[in-house]
Amino acid sequence: MNAKDKEREEQKREGHADAIALGRFASLKPDGVEDFRRYAPDFIHRGVWCMGANYFSHLGAPGRQEGISFAWQQLQYLVQKLWDNRFPTKESIRLITAFSEQIPFIEHMNQHFENPPPPSKEPAPPDPDSAEEVTKRNRQIRAMPKEELAVRFPDVTEEDSSLERLEYYNNYEHNSNPPPSPVPFPGYSPFHSGLPSVWAFQSGIAFLMMNRHFAIFCPQCRNCFVKFDGNQKYCSSECAQTARSEYQLGWWNDHGKKARSKRISARATKPVRARKER
């Protein structure tokens, strides 16, 4: 096996592992999160497990009003939707891209919560809309000369230049130019520095997008799972054993009692052979 074949085989194994992890994630229950994180620590950014359900609502995922508490549950809903639709190309790429776009903010949020900045010693700026600030600005207007008022408010005519009107203009001018919205946290930037990370969550979606026939549902528990073995029908040995037991019980209920009664009746009507004397 040459180098290219080895590399291709390694990529295939990685794709299989990521797809299997994606199937487990799609059927994950809240009480199994810790076990899954130990099973696949690099499946997704660790901040996703504790972030609130408000990062992927623009993709159609339910939020807090629908009973979803965390961002990972929103992603799980979107993955289940892809699984139902056999991983259509556009929707799969859209989810991979949207996840990449949220990673810088999630990383910054995670760093902020793990290493919160020290409290600022500078006093908070006064509220510009408070009664004290409005009165202070109005007092400044009342003290302005007429020439400065004309320069400050060129649109105000002589008939319109009462102090009350100028006070209104001053407050309107202030409120119509609010300060720019601050970034979520100091130092946050929506742009990556260097190459973005690729998580198993994304590569698992890409693998199943190109190999849709592997993504099926278990006929017993209806969980999502990846079928690499052509003879495999159930997601686990437990589901296979349960299905076998249910089949045997169903067969017995349908045919077993009749077959048993036939055997008993045949045994009762069968003539008894006389014993040969020695």
Angle between helices 163-175 and 131-142 (to 10 degrees): 130
Residues 9, 112: Cα–Cα separation, whole Å: 40
Give residue 182's pLDDT: 43
Check pLDDT > 70 for residue 58: yes
The rounded distance, in Å, linking the Cα atoms of 124 and 13 is 56
pLDDT digits (tens, 9 = 90+) for 135-172: 887 787 777 777 777 777 666 665 555 666 566 656 65
**Higher local confidence (pLDDT), 277 or 102:** 102
Q: Does residue 90 have a pLDDT over 50?
A: yes
196 band by pLDDT with thresholds 50, 70 and 90:
low
By DSSP bridging, strand 224-226 and strand 215-217 are: antiparallel
* Count of C-beta atoms within a 10 Å radius of residue 184: 12
Going by C-beta distance under 8 Å and a sequence separation of 6 or more, which residues neighbour residue 168?
Answer: none
In whole angstroms, give the CA distance from residue 56 to residue 75. 7
Label residues 131-163 b or e (16+ Cβ within 10 Å = b): eeebeeebeebeebeeeebeeebeebeeeeeee
H helices of the chain, where? 3-26, 33-39, 71-84, 89-114, 131-142, 146-152, 163-175, 200-210, 237-251, 257-269
Would you state the pLDDT for residue 155? Answer: 63
Please name which of 192, 185, 215, 263 lies closest in space to residue 23, comparing C-alpha atoms. 215
Which residue from 94, 90, 86, 82 is spatially nearest to 212, judged by alpha carbons?
86
Distance CA 198, CA 97 (A): 11
pTM for this prediction: 0.64
Q: Could you identify the residue written with the tokens 């052509």?
A: 230
Q: How far is CA 13 from the centre of its chain?
A: 25
